[in-house]
């Protein structure tokens, strides 16, 4: 046997294929589904044991992804691996708080990164230690590679269109040796074909999730209105880059830097959200040229590769779908960097992550200020 591994199972094709691959490699696999909340008292967990296992035979579902939970359980049964569903309501509450607070501060949050930091590679590792597993695994498209010095590093996934290394930059680097990404050296098409061949037909053609799990309708502003019992007034003016009032808006949390649609005003040519000013409640609108930025500052840094240099050149990404661009990074404090791009970039949004790469290896990253 290769050891015991706890696998985060979402009910999708990637984590299902990961379960199949791990079994093929000889691992003793324990499947784990994360529930984000509960609608019934039976799912409520006592504070003293936040990792209490929900009875897998219970038909009472939490408030999120009941169908996915059922798919994950069926795949686990098909592959003959133990399966548990844990209620992470409190931990997901922290992510929801962060999400709302960031938008109400005029920033653009990235809950998927925080979910990885706090839950998938935090709480799940806690659970793995409880069940004496020495590894955890997920269906992310990324790779863990060992360099010439025997150090584990985080690298891009083989499939450039599906690479998820950007959202993994915040993982504790000391945990990398305990992480497996079984699908990371495959393309998405290969994973789907593998799932079909393995008889995992229930998920082999399942669509990838595009929404934030706790906002299935993708309406961020409506979620914040429902979630926050009390929130400050956020309605204000739409202005151009010269400060001239163009109109009004119902709340700046409805906007994000780089947004083009849903501005509430029709222009003769495309206009974009250039910045959000929570103090004045103003949303600044401008042209694509106005959106271009050559510099940014980031803090809350996490380094995957220790650096002794105070200035270096690398490739940097400012959002998940952004093509990495050449940049010079300068450390100006223990937890602060200035980043200057060789060419201006569009849509630099405070609250998003900037992630640094050396070829395919993740050097580290931080949060854009």
Catalytic residue among 43, 64, 112, 115: 115
Of 115, 118, 119, 106, nearest in space to 167 by CA: 115
Cα distance between residue 93 and residue 91, in whole Å = 5
The edge-to-edge listing of strands for the beta sheet with 53-54 is 53-54, 83-87, 28-35, 4-8, 135-137, 179-180
Residue 235: strand, helix, or coil: coil
Give me the phi and psi of 307, to 5 degrees please. Answer: -125, 135
Contact 44, 93 (CB under 8 A): no
Cα separation values, 185 from 33, 134, 153, Å? 23, 22, 14
Q: Is 63 a catalytic residue?
A: no
Catalytic residue among 112, 213, 228, 314: 213
Q: Is 43 a catalytic residue?
A: no
Dihedral angle, C-alpha 235, 318, 120, 68, nearest 10 °: 70
Cα distance between residue 91 and residue 100, in whole Å = 15
Active site residues: 115, 213
């Amino acid at each position: 046997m290769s050891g015991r591994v706890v696998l985060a199972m979402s009910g999708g094709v990637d984590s299902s294929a990961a379960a199949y691959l791990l079994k093929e490699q000889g691992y003793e696999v324990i499947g784990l589904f994360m529930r984000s909340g509960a609608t019934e008292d039976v799912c409520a967990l006592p504070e003293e044991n936040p990792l209490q296992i929900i009875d897998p035979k219970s038909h009472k579902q939490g408030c999120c992804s009941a169908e996915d939970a059922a798919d994950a359980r069926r795949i686990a049964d098909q592959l003959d691996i133990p399966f548990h569903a844990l209620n992470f309501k409190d931990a997901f509450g922290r992510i929801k708080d962060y999400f709302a607070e960031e938008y109400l501060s005029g920033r653009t949050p990235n809950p998927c990164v925080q979910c990885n930091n706090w839950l998938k590679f935090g709480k799940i590792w806690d659970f793995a230690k409880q069940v004496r597993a020495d590894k955890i695994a997920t269906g992310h498209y990324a790779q863990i590679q060992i360099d010439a010095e025997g150090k584990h590093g985080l690298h891009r996934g083989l499939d450039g269109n599906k690479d998820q290394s950007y959202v993994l930059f915040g993982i504790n680097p000391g945990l990398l040796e305990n992480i497996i990404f079984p699908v990371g050296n495959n393309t998405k098409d290969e994973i789907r074909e593998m799932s079909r061949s393995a008889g995992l037909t229930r998920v082999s053609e399942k669509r990838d999730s595009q929404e934030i799990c706790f906002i299935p309708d993708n309406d961020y502003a409506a979620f914040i209105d429902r979630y926050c019992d009390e929130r400050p007034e956020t309605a204000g003016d739409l202005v151009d880059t010269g400060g001239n009032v163009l109109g009004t808006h119902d709340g700046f949390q409805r906007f994000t830097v780089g947004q083009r649609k849903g501005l509430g005003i029709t222009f003769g040519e495309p206009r974009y959200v250039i910045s959000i000013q929570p103090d004045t409640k103003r949303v600044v609108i401008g042209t694509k040229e106005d959106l271009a930025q050559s510099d940014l500052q980031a803090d809350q840094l996490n380094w995957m590769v220790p650096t002794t240099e105070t200035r270096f050149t690398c490739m940097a990404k400012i959002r998940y779908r952004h093509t990495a661009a050449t940049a010079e990074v300068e450390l100006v404090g223990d937890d602060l960097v200035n980043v200057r791009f060789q060419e201006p970039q569009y849509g630099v949004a405070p609250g998003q992550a900037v992630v640094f790469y050396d070829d395919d290896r993740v050097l580290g990253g931080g949060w854009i200020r």
